[in-house]
Amino acid sequence: MTAPSRRISALLPLIAFFVLGAAGALSAYAGASDLPSWRSLMRAAPAANPLAIRLALDAMRCAAVHGMAPPRRLAVIDYSRPSTQRRLWIFDLQGPRLLMSERVAHGRNSGGDLATRFSNSDGSLESSLGLYQALGTYQGDNGYSLRLQGLDPGFNDHALARAIVIHGARYVSRRFAQREGRIGRSWGCPAVSTRVAGRVIDSLKNGQMVFSYYPDPRWLDDSHLLNCPAVRANVARIIRIAKGPRARRRRSPAG
């Protein structure tokens, strides 16, 4: 083999690395572009919070850029709403169409009817914010349950260790809410009514996405999945709205 041929042979693995990496990146960007628009999801669920929907889609776009395959279904939880209201929406992204709209519990230390505190720490008994990937199912103390893997470092990536799962609970019901002024609270899990738990879990298991929203300033500013270059500018506009008039006034120049 001649010297030029040997040099070319030595470079082949490096060339292959960059070609495969570029192909993976292009595939990820293509997957991100396959997601529906937030307006189409709002048409399917007019009662949902458009800020939560927009951030959920951008978090998934950021995850796709990092190699996460886009899901077929998405669940959005809006913890800015009272627990007595339906604040869980499950979408089929292929339509897109709304599959379910249900009540969902928050952690007992996150608040009463309204959740205001969130944690990634084991033993906190608080809910966590951000994007999750639903894994497999199992039969546990709370019956048929769905494991969640947190994808947002520092905010929900301890979900598996904390056993944060979707499961059914009798305290998630309209009757409980009428009696107590709120639905019951979990140890941090997004628990749903036993009446619909099986349908919720089966619609999300094996790789679908779950996004938990609340306008928490630290999460909005520091979430890895809300601040990657692919979505940063768009998310910044959404965050200014989510933080409200005071945040916009703080950013305004004095005059």
pLDDT in tens, 59-68: 999 999 999 9
Q: Which two tokens stand for residue 208?
A: 């679908």
Q: Tell me, what's the pLDDT at 253?
A: 35
216: nearest Cα among 80, 75, 55: 80
Q: Which two tokens stand for residue 3?
A: 């010297």
Q: Tell me, what's the pLDDT at 252?
A: 35
- The mean per-residue pLDDT over the stretch 123-147 comes to 98
Instruction: State the pLDDT confidence band at 29, using cuts at 50, 70 and 90.
Output: very low
Q: What are the CA-CA distances from residue 36 to residues 91, 118, 172, 235 (Å)? A: 11, 29, 30, 16
Find the distance separating the first CA and the last CA of the chain, reported in whole Å.
74
Torsional class of 130: left (φ above 0), alpha (ψ -120 to 50), beta (otherwise): left
- State the Cα angle at 70 between 68 and 74, rounded to 5°: 120
- 38-248: CATH topology is L,D-transpeptidase catalytic domain-like (2.40.440)
Q: Please tell me the total number of residues recorded for the chain in this structure.
A: 255
Where along the chain do its domains lie? 38-248
Which of the pair, 107 or 7, is modelled with greater confidence?
107
d(CA 203, CA 162): 23
- DSSP one-letter code for 225: G
pTM for the model stands at 0.85
Instruction: State the pLDDT confidence band at 245, using cuts at 50, 70 and 90.
Output: low
- Each residue of 147-175: pLDDT tens digit? 999 999 999 999 999 999 999 999 999 99
d(CA 70, CA 67): 9
Q: Tell me, what's the pLDDT at 33?
A: 67
Q: Tell me, what's the pLDDT at 200?
A: 98
Which residue(s) pair with 166 in the sheet? Answer: 146
- Each residue of 216-242: pLDDT tens digit? 999 999 999 999 999 999 999 999 988
